[in-house]
């Protein structure tokens, strides 16, 4: 029997204990805050581990890392960057191609903490308001649009309003009125649309979804036979549409591995499942 969304995860806490019902969430928050902390230790304490921001940065004054999506926008604006940026992109893209593009979303992006909080509020207080439902493909349209706009205007138009780079840069360099944009994303997700931003609109997430195609690290519903249909995983997953075929596709011979590009590899389904159906799995290169 399906549990109410408000109680998602309670069964897991009862059967596995608090820690095992929260370990991936904890590790994820740790990773997100660690990334932010490494960036902040410079401006705050003069301890320069990594300089710049998520758009482009320099680790320990040697390793360049550049966000492939911002560079793509710049290329669309017909500007050719220096070689450092290409090396930086190769490093970042290489990493995400292996671990899954949307690992960026659930393990690095600072906006995720905010939209997760909004989703939690929605669940916890049994939000009765409207769910303004948006097609999940809108993000790909927006992604295309940002690139077209870059090339039409010759400038990185999207970066004027992109909440993702805005928040991370703002925390390091000052956000100004950008707080309103972040607040808007939070309120939108909380009051207007469930997982509205990250699950439907964000072009950054859309870009990283595309980078998920060959990912080696995947969530797999290996023990799907044990599923007792509590639906807790659907309640907590920011992209619940990716679970269904892997979890319920045994009859049709569909693999238990979640291959869907939108899965963020957040591992929250692993946490909340009292039956331990899900697990992270390394995909071998040769099948």
Which residues are at the interface with ligand SF4 (CB under 6 A)?
105, 109, 111-112, 115, 164, 197-198, 202, 204-205
Residue whose entry in the numeric block shows the structure tokens 């023990």 = 223
Tokens of 244: 């269904």
Q: For residues 256 and 247, what is the distance between their CA atoms, to the nearest angstrom?
A: 6
Crossing angle of the two packed helices 178-187 and 111-124, in degrees rounded to 10: 30
| Residue closer to another protein (CB basis): 128 or 287 | 287
* Candidate list 1, 60, 160, 286; residue touching another protein; CB under 8 A: 160
DSSP 183-232: HHHHHIIIII-TTHIIIII-HHHHHHHHTTTT-SEEEE-TTGGG-----H
| Residue closer to another protein (CB basis): 30 or 63 | 63
Q: For residues 27 and 14, what is the distance between their CA atoms, to the nearest angstrom?
A: 20
Minimum CB–partner distance for residue 181 and another protein (Å): 7
Minimum CB–partner distance for residue 241 and another protein (Å): 9
Minimum CB–partner distance for residue 55 and another protein (Å): 4
Minimum CB–partner distance for residue 280 and ligand SF4 (Å): 19
Minimum CB–partner distance for residue 162 and another protein (Å): 9
DSSP 141-162: HHHHHHHHHHHHHSS-GGGGT-
* Candidate list 18, 141, 280, 282; residue touching another protein; CB under 8 A: 141
Contact 183, 121 (CB under 8 A): no
105 interacts with, out of another protein, ligand SF4, none, CB within 5 to 8 A per kind: ligand SF4
| Residue closer to ligand SF4 (CB basis): 115 or 212 | 115
Q: How far is CA 120 from the centre of its chain?
A: 15
Q: For residues 19 and 194, what is the distance between their CA atoms, to the nearest angstrom?
A: 27
* Candidate list 157, 219, 235, 269; residue touching another protein; CB under 8 A: 157
Q: For residues 266 and 108, what is the distance between their CA atoms, to the nearest angstrom?
A: 11
Q: Answer positive or negative: Cα dihedral of 119, 124, 125, 127.
A: positive
Closest CB to ligand SF4 belongs to which residue? 205
253 interacts with, out of ligand SF4, another protein, none, CB within 5 to 8 A per kind: another protein
3-state secondary structure 126-141: CCCCCCCCCCCCHHHH
137 interacts with, out of ligand SF4, another protein, none, CB within 5 to 8 A per kind: another protein
Sites for another protein among residues 50-69 (CB under 8 A): 51-53, 55-58, 64, 66-67
- Cross-strand partners of 219: 280
- Binding footprint of another protein on the chain (CB under 8 A): 42, 48, 51-53, 55-58, 64, 66-67, 70-71, 74, 77-82, 84-85, 88, 135, 137-138, 141-142, 145, 148-150, 152-161, 165-166, 169-170, 172-178, 180-181, 245-246, 249, 253-257, 259-260
């Amino acid at each position: 029997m399906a549990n109410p969304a408000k109680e998602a995860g309670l069964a897991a806490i009862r059967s596995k204990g608090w820690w095992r019902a929260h370990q991936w969430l904890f590790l994820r928050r740790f990773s997100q805050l660690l990334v932010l902390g490494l960036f902040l230790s410079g401006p705050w304490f003069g301890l320069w581990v990594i300089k710049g921001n998520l758009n482009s940065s320099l680790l320990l004054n040697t390793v360049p890392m550049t966000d492939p999506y911002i560079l793509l926008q710049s290329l669309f604006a017909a500007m050719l960057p220096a070689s450092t940026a290409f090396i930086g992109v190769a490093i970042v893209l290489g990493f995400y191609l292996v671990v899954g593009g949307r690992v960026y979303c659930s393990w690095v992006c600072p906006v995720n903490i905010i939209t997760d909080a909004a989703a939690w509020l929605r669940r916890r207080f049994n939000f009765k308001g409207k769910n303004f439902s948006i097609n999940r493909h809108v993000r790909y349209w927006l992604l295309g649009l940002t690139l077209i706009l870059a090339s039409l205007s010759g400038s990185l138009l999207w970066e004027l309003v992109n909440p993702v780079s805005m928040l991370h840069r703002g925390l390091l360099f000052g956000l100004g009125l950008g707080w309103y944009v972040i607040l808007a994303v939070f309120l939108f997700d909380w009051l207007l649309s469930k997982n509205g931003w990250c699950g439907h609109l964000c072009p950054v997430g859309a870009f990283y979804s595309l980078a998920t195609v060959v990912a080696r690290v995947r969530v797999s519903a290996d023990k799907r036979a044990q599923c007792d249909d509590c639906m807790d995983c659907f309640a907590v997953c920011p992209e619940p549409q990716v679970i269904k075929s892997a979890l319920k596709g045994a009859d049709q011979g569909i693999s238990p591995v979640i291959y869907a590009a939108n899965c963020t590899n957040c591992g929250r389904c692993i946490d909340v499942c009292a039956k331990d159906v899900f697990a992270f799995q390394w995909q071998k290169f040769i099948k």
